[in-house]
Amino acid sequence: MWLPRTAVSVDHFHLVQLANQALTEVRQQLSHQVRGRRGRAVDPAWAHRMLLLRASDTLSDRARAKLETVFATDDPTRKLKAAWGVKEQVRTLLRTGSLKDAELAKEELERLVKESNQPETTRLWRTICRWWKEIEVLIVTGATTGKVEANNTSIKQIKRTGPGFVKSTNYTTRIMLRSAARTAVNHP
């Protein structure tokens, strides 16, 4: 009623987090299927699990080679590589700058999810479909709640550590000072 032209937007961080979670679940299940146990440091998929979660465009040649080793030695079912492809396509979708490009990326994501044929990636796909209008708002506006969430985290940290503050006004002062300091650093 008060803000009739507002729209809800999703935060890209949380969508990537969901994609990473799906990939992690696939990796863990694969370890149980192949080895009958949890992953260990000697297993390439476990040893390089953080590389699996990184964006492919940030990987060095050496890191890419390690990932290829993981896929070649620790992924006999090819499920891990399929889930990794789905995760990377989610990142691609979120980087698009127009609704037309986003729709094309979504179609490619749907193809990869169907090809993957895994409950984890299917669940991720259903979530993306359910939130598609909000994803479109993110793509069009680029608006996220990232700054607000960062401020809330800072406030919670101040309250948790609370260096001897007895009065709530002292907490408020500390929070305002921190906010002012961050604003001064970010906007010279």
Q: What is the pLDDT of residue 146?
A: 78
* Distance, C-alpha 168 to centroid of its chain: 35
Say yes or no: 82 and 114 in one domain.
Answer: yes
Question: Does 118 share its domain with 56?
Answer: yes
Q: What pLDDT is recorded for position 40?
A: 86
- 164 occurs within a structural domain: yes
Pick the range with the lowest mean pLDDT from 8-12, 19-23, 182-186.
182-186
Whole-number pLDDT of residue 186: 62
59 and 40 within one domain? yes
Instruction: Evaluate if residue 188 carries a pLDDT over 70.
Output: no
Residue 67 lies in a domain: yes
Question: Given a cut of 70, is residue 182 above it in pLDDT?
Answer: no
Q: Looking at the domain assignment, is residue 2 inside a domain?
A: no
* Number of domains the chain is built from: 2
Residues 104 and 171 in one domain: no
Q: What does the alpha-carbon distance between residue 43 and residue 35 come to, in Å, rounded to a whole number?
A: 10
CB 55 within 8 A of CB 91: yes
Least confident residue range of 22-26, 60-64, 101-105, 175-179: 175-179
Contact 82, 124 (CB under 8 A): no
**Domain boundary residue, one of 141, 162, 178:** 141
Q: What is the mean pLDDT of residues 43-49?
A: 87
What pLDDT was estimated at residue 127? 97
Residue 6 counted as domain residue: no
Whether residue 171 sits in one domain with residue 137:
no
Half-sphere exposure of 110 (CA within 13 A, CB side): 9
Is the pLDDT at 36 greater than 80? The verdict is yes
Contacts of 82 (CB under 8 A, 6+ apart): 112, 115, 116, 118, 121
Kindly state whether residue 1 falls inside one of the protein's structural domains.
Answer: no
Q: Using alpha carbons only, how large is the chain's radius of gyration in Å?
A: 21
Q: In terms of domains, do 136 and 162 share one?
A: no
Range of the domain at 34: 12-141
Amino acid at 26: V
Are 35 and 119 found together in one domain? yes
Rounded to whole angstroms, how far apart are CA atoms 84 and 78? 10
Global pTM reads 0.80
- pLDDT (average), residues 40-63: 90
pLDDT in tens, 112-166: 999 999 999 999 999 999 999 999 999 999 888 777 788 888 888 877 776 666 7
